[in-house]
């Protein structure tokens, strides 16, 4: 009798567990279909929940959120209050498209300089901190307490002790391994540190998925660094390091910095509740002291600051890139560490190639995320077969994010060419309308190409099938 009851118990438990799992799956199906997702993303989540309901449902709880209404509503849109528009600085379809999303107009009169090495970026960061007189705002995805991180924290602490307003915003996932005591010198000196969207916080949903991937350093509201470089020795440093990742940043001085500071202040207020005032256009100067080196040269570049993420209505970054690919006439050159785009972006690049546009994609031979290397194979194979030039950068990890359109526009920022950056994370990009700076980006990409090998697809029907199966789940990466 006891054996019969035991068997009945296990049978009932198994049945109830199965029914519960599939019941949860049905609930999530209904919710998933209601969300504004791409068909590929919806299909990928449906497959995961159907095939592995006990794994798929928890994964969706933690990672499935996109532009969550409740969470996004807590953070004011970054472009709220910026509806005022002046005469456009340039007459381009791209600028008009971006303005339709509420993006501030492109601003003329900026000095823009490419920082091609970690040594250049480190020196300019230290210079920016040293010459700040009223405020220093820094946001980054990764800050480590290695030699570089300790030096930067020490420099920020010194400025805070001198009365400069120092605010450091870190992403809680990206800087997860940073020891809190490493920040003590800065907080003791009067600076403030905050973590964007902490992981251990109720409700959990979406906090793992929606990360602040923006990288900015802003001094006195008129000088800034932006791009893809995090604050660690893998990215920047005072001395050359052959193992350092290849990355790209820009130093910018001029009116566009106001838009970058606006973005930081919005992120900071959401994280801490502190409402930072806008910096004055001309920070106080010490009598008899030379003006900061970064702001003495005139600028002629037109720059538009484009943010993306849950705090921006729509997908301005993605849709503008898509539009630019369709309208390119000469070339579309892309450098990105991870290439896992959506189907529409790939088709746009394929069509551009077929109509004679010089499409070039530069990715690392092997990135720091093997799963994304596997997921990209189907996409780069399709580009290669269409006639695009796919190059694999071999000397070290390529972490730079830049796109070049013809000879008139370069897009440099924090966003990778993947679904996570284009549709989930908080990102920022600079649209630089300047033939001189675009030419600089072109020469930089040519130097990258010199360290690359040409992609050659590996033969095998089974491999192609595996690539296409993995492509189904690529929107989840």
**Catalytic sites, residue numbers:** 213, 215, 220, 399, 401, 406
Asked if residues 270 and 76 have their Cβ atoms less than 8 Å apart, the reply is yes
Distance of alpha carbon 192 from alpha carbon 160, whole angstroms: 9
Distance of alpha carbon 350 from alpha carbon 155, whole angstroms: 47
Percent composition of the chain: helix, strand, coil (DSSP 3-state, to 5): 45, 20, 35
CA dist list (Å): 465 to 93, 104, 339, 350, 469:
40, 45, 19, 20, 6
Q: Are strands 135-140 and 216-219 parallel, antiparallel or unpaired?
A: antiparallel
Q: What is the dihedral of CA 121, 262, 35, 37, to 10 degrees?
A: -40
Asked if residues 190 and 160 have their Cβ atoms less than 8 Å apart, the reply is yes
Beta bridge mates, 453: 392
Residues in Cβ contact with 2 at an 8 Å cutoff, skipping those fewer than 6 apart: none
Distance of alpha carbon 467 from alpha carbon 44, whole angstroms: 14
Distance of alpha carbon 268 from alpha carbon 149, whole angstroms: 21
Distance of alpha carbon 210 from alpha carbon 58, whole angstroms: 16
- For the packed helices 39-51 and 2-34, what is the interaxial angle rounded to 10 degrees? 180
Q: How crowded is the C-beta side of 452, counted as CA atoms within 13 Å?
A: 21
Distance of alpha carbon 417 from alpha carbon 430, whole angstroms: 15
Cis preceding-peptide flag for 355 (omega within 30 of 0): no
Closest by Cα among 455, 466, 323, 473 to 386: 455
Distance of alpha carbon 464 from alpha carbon 414, whole angstroms: 31
Radius of gyration from C-alpha coordinates of the chain: 24
Q: Diameter of the chain by CA atoms?
A: 98
Distance of alpha carbon 64 from alpha carbon 45, whole angstroms: 8
Distance of alpha carbon 404 from alpha carbon 386, whole angstroms: 20
């Amino acid at each position: 009798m006891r054996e019969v009851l035991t068997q009945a118990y296990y049978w009932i438990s198994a049945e109830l567990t199965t029914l519960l799992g599939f019941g949860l799956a049905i609930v999530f199906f209904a919710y998933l279909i209601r969300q504004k997702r791409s068909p590929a993303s919806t299909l990928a989540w449906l497959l995961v929940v159907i095939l592995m309901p006990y794994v798929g449902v928890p994964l969706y709880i933690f990672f499935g959120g996109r532009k969550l209404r409740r969470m996004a509503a807590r953070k004011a849109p970054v472009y709220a209050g910026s509806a005022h528009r002046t005469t456009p600085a340039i007459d381009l379809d791209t600028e008009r498209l971006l303005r339709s999303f509420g993006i501030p107009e492109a601003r003329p009169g900026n000095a823009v300089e490419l920082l091609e090495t970690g040594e250049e970026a480190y020196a300019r960061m230290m210079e920016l901190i040293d010459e700040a007189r009223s405020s220093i705002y820094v946001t980054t995805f990764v800050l480590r307490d290695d030699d570089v991180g300790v030096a930067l924290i020490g420099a920020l602490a010194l400025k805070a002790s001198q009365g400069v307003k120092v605010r450091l915003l870190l992403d809680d996932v990206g800087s997860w391994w940073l020891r809190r005591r490493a920040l003590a010198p800065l907080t003791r000196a009067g600076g403030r540190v905050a973590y964007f969207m902490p992981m251990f916080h109720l409700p959990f949903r979406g906090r793992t998925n929606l990360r602040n991937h923006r990288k900015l350093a802003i001094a006195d509201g008129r000088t800034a660094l932006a791009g893809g470089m995090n604050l660690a020795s893998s990215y920047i440093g005072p001395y050359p390091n052959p193992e350092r990742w290849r990355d790209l940043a820009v130093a910018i001085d001029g009116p566009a910095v106001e838009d970058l500071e606006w973005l930081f202040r919005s992120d900071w207020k959401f994280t801490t509740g502190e409402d930072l005032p806008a910096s004055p256009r001309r920070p106080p100067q010490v009598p008899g002291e030379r003006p900061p080196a970064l702001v003495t040269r005139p600028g002629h570049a037109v720059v538009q600051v484009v943010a993306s993420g849950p705090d921006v209505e729509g997908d301005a970054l993605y849709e503008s890139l898509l539009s630019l690919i369709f309208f390119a006439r000469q070339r579309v050159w892309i450098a990105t560490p991870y290439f896992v785009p959506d189907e529409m972006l790939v088709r746009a690049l394929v069509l551009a190639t077929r109509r004679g546009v010089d499409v070039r994609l530069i990715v690392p031979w092997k990135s720091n995320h093997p799963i994304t290397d596997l997921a990209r194979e189907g996409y780069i194979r399709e580009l290669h077969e269409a006639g695009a030039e796919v190059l694999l950068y071999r000397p070290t990890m390529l972490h730079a994010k830049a796109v070049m359109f013809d000879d008139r526009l370069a897009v440099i920022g924090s966003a990778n060419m993947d679904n996570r950056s284009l549709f989930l994370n908080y990102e920022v990009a600079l649209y630089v309308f300047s033939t001189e700076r675009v030419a600089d980006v072109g020469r930089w990409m040519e130097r990258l190409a010199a360290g690359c090998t040409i992609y050659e697809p590996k033969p095998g029907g089974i491999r192609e099938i595996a690539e296409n199966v993995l492509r189904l789940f690529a929107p989840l990466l």
